[in-house]
Amino acid sequence: MNLQNGQKFCQTTRNLFWGLALVICLMIAACMATEKNPEVIKEDDRPNILWLVLEDTSPTLAPYGDTTIDTPNISRLAEEGITYTNVYSPSGVCSPSRASLALGMYPSAIGANHMRTTSHTDVTGLPAYEAVPPPQAKMLSQYLRSDGYYTTNNYKTDYQFKAPKNAWDESGVFAHWRNRPQGKPFFSVVNFTTTHESGLFEPYGFRKIESRHYFSDDAERIAKLPTHPMDKTAEYSTAIHVPKDADFPIPPYLPDTPVVRRDMWKMYNNLAEADRQIGAVLAQLREDGLLEKTVIFLYSDHGGPLPRQKRLIYDSGLKVPLIIRFPNAENTGDMDDQNVSFVDFAPATLSLAGIETPDHMHGNDFILNDKNARRYIHAAADRFDGFTDTIRSVKDKQYKYIRNYRPKQGYYLPVTYREKIPAMQELLRLRDQSNLTPEQAKWFRELKAVDELYDTIADPHELNNLAEDPEYAEVLSRLKKEMDRWLNSIGDDPKLSERTMIAKLWGGEKSRPETAIPEVTIKDGMAALSSPTLGASISYKIIRNNYEPTAWGLYSEPFKVTAGETLQIQAHRIGYHESRIKLHPIP
């Protein structure tokens, strides 16, 4: 195996089975937590909030009628909670979706819509850049943290922008709600990567994993940890949860061949493994006596991992599961068919915490204020890695309208990463042999209609374009007007080139703006921090007796300091370069 292939293999293995390491890390963090935070504060009776996040998963679950496999932990959440049946990401790929979750805003409104803004510059010829939300925008975790929540993230952070250092109390594989001061409510995000698209790559299976490898950057800390039975080098064979000859539902846009069936098996097998990992996290919540004090969200970052799912603007790429379990199993087993967008998650979460939704957010609280349920779902598809398209969509509960701004460009984008999937290779092989069915060949057509209209109830795979049918003229006209309204309301101009968009994000500057170094004012033993950069948040640490805390504080108001201490501070407006870190001794 040459070096390049070896690196690719290692990356695939890490992507496939990081979930195993994540569970191990959560277990170790749990062992450490009892010694880490002896601080006790006044009990806050607001609910804890836990987000359990699958990757690349459509609603292929029993609560949604797909009985291909059993996912007992997810099904139990559904039995004790609410299953939402019309939930959508605003993008068919992870980072733009994560931007909308973190900020409560549409990716195409803030420059987060092009996948990977800091890479593929050798192909695009564009400078590396980040999304730039309005100056008043902060991350959801920052709002919660500043209002008393202990916030943790395991472990994904690709939001299309670098998160400020104060975004989380803890972010990484060791982050755990058990590390919080006693009495504080928590907001915790746990990402399960087992179901990721790369989980379909070959070779498929567990490899020799040394869990300590993931902790190599903290060797001294690890050496002091208690021994865990899984914390050793071990050979893991592929965990088979699903029979390989199961009757998998092959969508009509994929060929029913042994290669595709094997990928279907891998997809469901990975989902079953993720369910097992979810069960391990929920077990810790029960052990802590926190199940009935916690609102649990279970969802996916966008649609499925198979070809013509991920990255597409059809429901196969946008529609996701969402199950919410409330304390004491309120609304047990309910189904809710209201339209929900990812931009609604932040307002709903803030509402659960008793925090008012900021005016700049695009979403609505769909949980406590569901009387104002949204009528329309909006989404966008632009550049994916080195390949660019420009598509927008809007849908109600039945009909979806898609507008193609590049009709002379074919639908299929030859994304290298996707072409590692055996089923994708099978599609390309059959295409080259002219052996695809009409449904399978649609993806590879050389031209696109400017307008597409689908009845997503009668035609869930979106294969029959109704835009030219006079019977649907009124529906088409209504959805076109709604799209124009939406684009104007969020300031999204799809005809704008990415280069021009970058210039707008940077306020006409030729390079990414810098956040100004923060300023310190000491008066009567109180430290006040400020930044000349509009919209910058300030992170700080108080260094005492040469001890530097691990976590950065989130500055909100003046705080007490003592002579001999040193302030370590940094300012950061999202999308700008961070300021230089400043050390300020307290005289």
Active site amino acids: 94
Token readout for 500 is 């021009």
Q: CA dihedral defined by 457, 460, 463, 466, rounded to 10 degrees?
A: 20
Q: Please enumerate in sequence order all residues whose Cβ is within 8 A of that of 461, keeping only pairs 6 or more positions apart, or say none.
A: 251, 252, 253, 314, 316, 439
Task: Identify which of 349, 332, 331, 327 has the alpha carbon closest to the alpha carbon of residue 340.
Answer: 349
Could you tell me the sign of the dihedral formed by the alpha carbons of 210, 155, 352, 345, in that order?
negative
The alpha carbon of residue 245 and the mean position of all alpha carbons in its chain are separated, in whole angstroms, by: 32
Let me know: does 422 contact 200? Beta carbons within 8 Å. yes
DSSP 518: P
Say how many Å lie between the first and final Cα of the chain, rounded: 60
Residue where the block lists tokens 């994929």: 254
Residue where the block lists tokens 């039975």: 229
The alpha carbon of residue 585 and the mean position of all alpha carbons in its chain are separated, in whole angstroms, by: 39
Q: CA dihedral defined by 130, 135, 137, 143, rounded to 10 degrees?
A: 120
Let me know: does 174 contact 27? Beta carbons within 8 Å. no
Residue where the block lists tokens 């925008």: 137
Q: Where are the alpha helices (DSSP H) in 37-93?
A: 72-79
Token readout for 107 is 């990716």
Q: Cα 499–501–118 angle (5° rounding)? A: 65
Let me know: does 228 contact 28? Beta carbons within 8 Å. yes
Three-state DSSP state, 293? helix
Q: Distance between CA 346 and CA 101 in Å, rounded?
A: 6
In DSSP terms, which residues pair with 233 in a beta bridge? Answer: 210
Q: Distance between CA 564 and CA 550 in Å, rounded?
A: 19
In DSSP terms, which residues pair with 88 in a beta bridge? Answer: 319, 341
Instruction: Provide the pairing of β-strand 209-210 with 186-192.
Output: unpaired
Token readout for 242 is 């699903």
Residue type, 292: E
Task: Identify which of 220, 256, 214 has the alpha carbon closest to the alpha carbon of residue 233.
Answer: 214
DSSP 509: -
Three-state DSSP state, 481? helix
